[in-house]
Amino acid sequence: MKSTFIPAFSFLEQAIRNRLDHFFHEKPFHKPEFVLEENTESDPLLAFFRHYQLSDENIILLTAAIVPHLVPGFFERLIRDYLPQGGEFPEFGGTKGENSRGMVATGETVMFILAGMNLERRLSFLPLFDQDNPLVKHRVLYLEPVKNGEPKLSGRLSIDPEYVEVLMTGKISLPTLSINFPAEHLQSNMSWEDLVLPPQVWQQIEELQAWLRHKDTILREWDIGRRIKPGYRALFYGPPGTGKTVTAALLGKYTGRDVFKIDLSMVVSKYIGETEKNLATLFDKAENKDWILFFDEGDSLFGKRTGVRDAHDKYANQEVSYLLQRIESYNGLVILASNFKNNIDAAFIRRFNALIYFPLPRTEDRLALWKKSLPSQLQASRELHLPEIAERYELTGSHIVNIVQYLSLTSLETGNYVLSKEQLLRGIRRELEKEGK
């Protein structure tokens, strides 16, 4: 079975040779047709062609972008047959990469292949590079920006690295936290049964899950879809350690979506304009992937807006406005976490679809957390009464998990698996001392 790349690259090569024959030897240009051979296997590239129902022109656009990733020197080899002595060939476009020594296509390259130097035909193919083309709209490929005054089509024709990977291997590696991608993949080994939350919080979480299950139907099939914004925005607020982050992770786990926690300290830059650039990278990456975006410690960027006293204030407000714009246009679920709702600007609050308060656990909730968290390998001594501990110490779920981890390690170290009241109180004091209590 042949890979779809073989007929695709053969099709691109034939189109280039026909154009070069026309340009150098004045032969009539014959536009080739993309035809799959019978023994071509059904691979990711073929599935992509069929999903987007690509025209021959778009197949040329896509293959011109991806061929340098698999066949370095592809363009140079063809040109050498017509210019054996070398020389300038500006009509063909193309550029060199910083690391790659081979030619990389530009918009001019594709335009030459499709239209040669025929002005009317070149004008007719310009929409290939506009947002109306699904390959551009969905950020599969794009023309890199050029300096002011230079032709737009001289920009490098780039294909999103994730699409390169998925088209070649059928898999996609999730991005990792870095300067260029200020978010980390959020996962949890816990389950919904491990969480202890009030009934009204569970009801609101179920509403979020309902939106995740039915958003495509309501946005694309129901009449209301054209009246509402594409995504869903939720504010999780409440004291630290009450389950906001775990809830975000479990929403992804139980709805089959990746959750990314955004490190706002990496997003917000002291350099003017850099914050917007960092945010653009994040949202461009997330677009059309149905990721859940979780902005932790949202107060740092969504706090009360200041009056404009200087240039820094002006650009700080611009950064917030830009982030709001991207959040409102994002077609997935965005969650903003804050310790205090009052820290968030009222103008931002109005833009959320859901406000979910995660309170400190009540006595009965703390008792449930103790029972769920203590491992079965530890046996409570007779003088240890968990209801008494739950009533006396106002701890969060995060506190209790940390205490239980400490007690488990201590028991393993000593070989004593009977948990005394004194040991538990020592663990509680140790945890509270971290917060100066």
Q: Which of 127, 113, 107, 105 is nearest to 12 (CA)?
A: 113
Q: Determine the Cα–Cα distance for residues 357 and 377; give it in Å rounded to an integer.
A: 34
CATH class of segment(s) 183-357: alpha beta
More confident residue, 17 or 284: 17
- What integer pLDDT is reported at residue 319 of this predicted model? 67
Comparing 425 with 287, which gets the higher pLDDT? 425
Q: Label the pairing between strands 418-419 and 379-380.
A: parallel
Q: Are 333 and 251 in contact (CB under 8 A)?
A: yes
CB 87 within 8 A of CB 81: no
Tokens of 157: 């024709």
Residue 269 has pLDDT above 90, yes or no: no
**Among residues 130, 159, 128, which one has the least CA distance to residue 65?**
159
Decide which of 296 and 21 is more confident: 21
Confidence of residue 310 (pLDDT cuts 50, 70, 90): very low
**Averaged pLDDT of the chain:** 88
d(CA 53, CA 31): 19
Model's pTM, two decimal places?
A: 0.76
- At residue 287, the pLDDT reads 80
Mean pLDDT of 323-347: 84
Q: Give the dihedral of Cα atoms 294, 289, 164, 278; nearest 10 deg.
A: -40
- Would you state the pLDDT for residue 27? 94
Least confident of 85-89, 243-247, 381-385: 85-89
Q: What SS3 state is found at 91?
A: helix
Partners of 387 in the beta sheet? none
Question: Are the beta carbons of 50 and 177 closer than 8 angstroms?
Answer: no
Check residue 219 and report its DSSP letter: H
Where do the domains of the chain lie? 5-169, 183-357, 363-433
List pLDDT tens digits, range 376-431: 999 999 999 999 999 999 999 999 999 999 999 999 999 999 999 999 999 999 99
- pLDDT value of position 308: 46
CA atoms within 13 A on the CB side of 139: 13
Range with the poorest average pLDDT among 145-149, 183-187, 315-319? 315-319
Distance CA 366, CA 419 (A): 18
222 C-beta neighbours (distance < 10 Å), count: 12
Whether pLDDT at 86 is above 90: no
Sign of the CA dihedral running 335, 338, 341, 347 = negative
Burial of 16 (0-12, 13-18, 19+ CB in 10 A): buried
Cα–Cα dist 64/156, whole Å: 11
Helices 274-286 and 311-329, packing angle to 10 deg: 10
Q: Residue 225 gets which letter from DSSP?
A: G
Q: Is 357 helix (H, G, I), strand (E, B) or coil?
A: strand
| Model confidence band, residue 182 (pLDDT cutoffs 50, 70, 90) | confident
In angstroms, the CA 265 to CA 281 distance is 15
With tokens 């007929």, the residue in question is 7
Q: Which CATH number fits domain 363-433: 3.30.70.890, 1.10.8.60, 2.40.110.10, 3.40.50.620?
A: 1.10.8.60
Helices then strands (H, E): number in the chain? 19, 12
Amino acid in the structure at residue 155:
G
pLDDT in tens, 120-150: 999 999 999 999 999 998 889 999 999 999 9
At residue 317, the pLDDT reads: 63
Q: Which band of pLDDT confidence, cut at 50, 70 and 90, is reported for residue 17?
A: very high
**Three-class SS string for 279-322?**
HHHHHHHHCCCCCEEEECCCHHHHECCCCCCCHHHHHHHHHHHH
Specify the 3-state DSSP secondary structure of 373: helix
